[in-house]
Structure 1
């Protein structure tokens, strides 16, 4: 999926994927990551999600990656924070107290740029990518994060009815991407009221990914 697809979405305000409040699966299950306050949490393809404000309010530090600079300008405006902005390689780095966001292609975000993170919260990244990119993304994410534990949210629905994003990612695919490195636990699966985009029955699942014990 081309970067221009997402830039057009933001330019046209076609951001139905943006939630007005923190995601209920985050607020219910984030504590299962068992992180100390002050821990640094990475949100890939974060957009201007309200989840960031929720995490900051609870004493966590945020790292994020996002393709759209417009989304990140809006994020900081909504947070009421003026970031410092610098160019780093192919990326633009927005920084303020307890928050670092890299704008650009997530595959240009290196472990060196990202720095240490205690966990990953992936609500909108894996499911935003087409099938031929998801394995590359999963491997990259593990590489740059040092196989940090994850709270992952996926959708499952009949993609012959409508196509993504968000794309349908079932249990077998989660296992395929992450099963070798993590112990996987399905925390909650719920029906999406009214269906995905109001068009197709869909479930939403929260997964806890913790480093497999050897």
Structure 2
């Protein structure tokens, strides 16, 4: 899946993943990360999610990564923050009090750029990628975050009725990506009809991944 796909979605305002408020499943399950006020949360492929507003309002620092620069510009505008902008050559960096967002390819983001990470919230990154990219993404995120704990959202549905994104991810794939380094515990599950397409039943699951 190429970058142009996502840029086109943003340009055409085809952003069905963007919600009008902080995601309630996120706010209800976030405590499982065991973080404290002031800890720094990594939100990969963050877009302009209002989950970031919730994190900042609750005293956390945020580091995000996003491919689409206009989405990041909108995020800072909606936060009422004027960013300091710098260019590292591979990524642009938008910074303000308690928030840093890197603009560019997340698969080339480095540990040094990312900085300290106390926890990761991945609601829309892993599920946005096709399988061949997930096999690169999962180990890369573990490496650059130094295996920080993750709250990870996945979906299961009949792939004959829908292809994604968001993509369905089998538990066997999660086992292959994470179980050698992390304890994986399901902390939430629900079944939703028509969440992404008519007549498609989706099982939404939230996993806590904690380093062994």
Deviations for 1:22-57, whole angstroms, at most 9, x for unmatched residues? 112211111111111100000000000010000111
RMSD: 1.0
Equivalent position of 2:7 in the other structure: 7
Structure 2 unaligned blocks of 5 or more: none
How far apart in 2 are the matches of 1:197 and 1:10?
20
Q: What does 1:88-107 correspond to in 2, within 5 Å?
A: 88-107=88-107
Which TM-score applies when normalising by structure 2? Answer: 0.97
Change in 2 beyond 3 A, CA 1:56/1:138: same
Deviation at 1:194, TM superposition (A): 2.7
Q: What does 1:47-86 correspond to in 2, within 5 Å?
A: 47-86=47-86
| 4+ residue segments displaced more than 3 Å | none
Deviations for 1:58-99, whole angstroms, at most 9, x for unmatched residues? 000000000000110111111111111111121010000000
How far apart in 2 are the matches of 1:28 and 1:114?
26
Which TM-score applies when normalising by structure 1? Answer: 0.96
Equivalent position of 1:194 in the other structure: 194
Equivalent position of 2:151 in the other structure: 151
Equivalent position of 2:203 in the other structure: 203
Structure 1 unaligned blocks of 5 or more: none
Equivalent position of 2:163 in the other structure: 163
How far apart in 1 are the matches of 2:30 and 2:128?
21
How far apart in 2 are the matches of 1:197 and 1:78?
29
User: Secondary structure of the equivalent of 1:177?
Assistant: helix
Aligned residues between the structures: 212
How far apart in 1 are the matches of 2:52 and 2:208?
19
